[in-house]
Amino acid sequence: MGETKQITDPDDLRALLGAVMPRAATKERVALHQRDREWIANSPFLVISTSDAEGNCDASPKGDPAGFVKVLDDRTIAIPERPGNRRADGYLNILANPHVGLLFLIPGRRDTLRINGRARLVRDAAYFDDMVVEGHRPILAVEVAVEQIFFHCAKAFIRSHLWEPEQWAPDALPSTACLVKEVQANVTETVEELERYYSPEHYAAKLYRD
């Protein structure tokens, strides 16, 4: 194998990548356009990226019926909490470092909406009543003060064939239960017990309650 050549200088990076495409250089916005609102209203899934004060990163998926993220005004959105594993990695990061990055997906669309901003945790607000799903009113929400908005091109989705079912291979790896049993040495449950826990029926019953 040849020598690993690291890039450490911004000028070297720019020389390697070339000049920014004109439309890409000017596409950033700081307030939500009506089309951004429509995108958020039709998105059932996003990824929120955070980091702590030392720069340790986390990316967490969030999903609910389309439109679960509430637009509070042209520069503020809110993401409801739903029951999970209680690790709270992203929430703890926000307490240490409010900067977040959001990636909104619409199934079947190859482009994405990206929003960067500063987040805070809110334990209650009047708009929580509009976030009730299957009787679950969130116990907290992430409010994001928008600082940067833009649409991201489709190339990654085209290259990956993400939305093409004929390219899917969900059985290329063992089941979730088998993976957990293999990689977590301290797990005491049997594979059969884990299969029951991770079954669609069990998960469906716990989507909106602990």
Q: In this structure, is residue 2 part of a structural domain?
A: no
Q: In this structure, is residue 180 part of a structural domain?
A: yes
- Among the three residues 142, 160, 178, which one is the final residue of a domain in this structure? 160
Residue 206 clears pLDDT 80, i.e. is over it: yes
What would the mean pLDDT of 88-107 be, rounded to a whole number? 97
Q: In this structure, is residue 3 part of a structural domain?
A: no
Give residue-wise pLDDT tens across range 126-141.
999 999 999 999 999 9
Structure confidence at residue 179 (pLDDT): 97
Q: In this structure, is residue 1 part of a structural domain?
A: no
3-state secondary structure of 146: strand
Is residue 67 domain-shared with residue 87, that is, in the same domain?
Answer: yes
3-state helix vs strand vs coil in the chain, percent to 5: 35, 25, 40
Residues 6+ apart with CB under 8 A from 97: 50, 51, 52, 53
Is residue 186 domain-shared with residue 122, that is, in the same domain?
Answer: no
Structure tokens at 61: 């998926």
Structure confidence at residue 10 (pLDDT): 94
Q: In this structure, is residue 182 part of a structural domain?
A: yes
Q: What are 49's strand-pairing partners?
A: 59, 101
3-state secondary structure of 210: coil
Residue 210 clears pLDDT 80, i.e. is over it: no
Q: In this structure, is residue 50 part of a structural domain?
A: yes
pLDDT tier, 197 (very low <50, low <70, confident <90, very high otherwise): very high
Q: In this structure, is residue 5 part of a structural domain?
A: no
User: Residue 69 is part of a domain; what is its CATH number?
Assistant: 2.30.110.10
What would the mean pLDDT of 160-178 be, rounded to a whole number? 96
pLDDT tier, 64 (very low <50, low <70, confident <90, very high otherwise): very high
Structure tokens at 6: 């690291």
The more confident residue out of 40 and 86 is: 40
Residue 45 clears pLDDT 90, i.e. is over it: yes
Is residue 134 domain-shared with residue 180, that is, in the same domain?
Answer: no
C-alpha distances out from residue 188 to 181, 185, 191, Å:
8, 8, 9
What would the mean pLDDT of 89-99 be, rounded to a whole number? 97
Q: What are 152's strand-pairing partners?
A: 112
Q: pTM for this one?
A: 0.93
Is residue 124 domain-shared with residue 182, that is, in the same domain?
Answer: no
Structure confidence at residue 159 (pLDDT): 97
- Boundaries of domain holding 186: 169-205
Q: In this structure, is residue 4 part of a structural domain?
A: no
Is residue 128 domain-shared with residue 193, that is, in the same domain?
Answer: no
Residue 192 parent element (H or E):
helix 191-197
Is residue 153 domain-shared with residue 130, that is, in the same domain?
Answer: yes
Is residue 108 domain-shared with residue 200, that is, in the same domain?
Answer: no
* Count of structural domains, the chain: 2
What is the per-residue DSSP string for 93-115?
HHHH--EEEEEEE-TT-S-EEEE
- Is the C-alpha dihedral spanning 96, 139, 48, 114 positive or negative? negative
- Among the three residues 143, 160, 177, which one is the final residue of a domain in this structure? 160
Structure confidence at residue 24 (pLDDT): 86
What would the mean pLDDT of 182-209 be, rounded to a whole number? 93
Is residue 156 domain-shared with residue 177, that is, in the same domain?
Answer: no
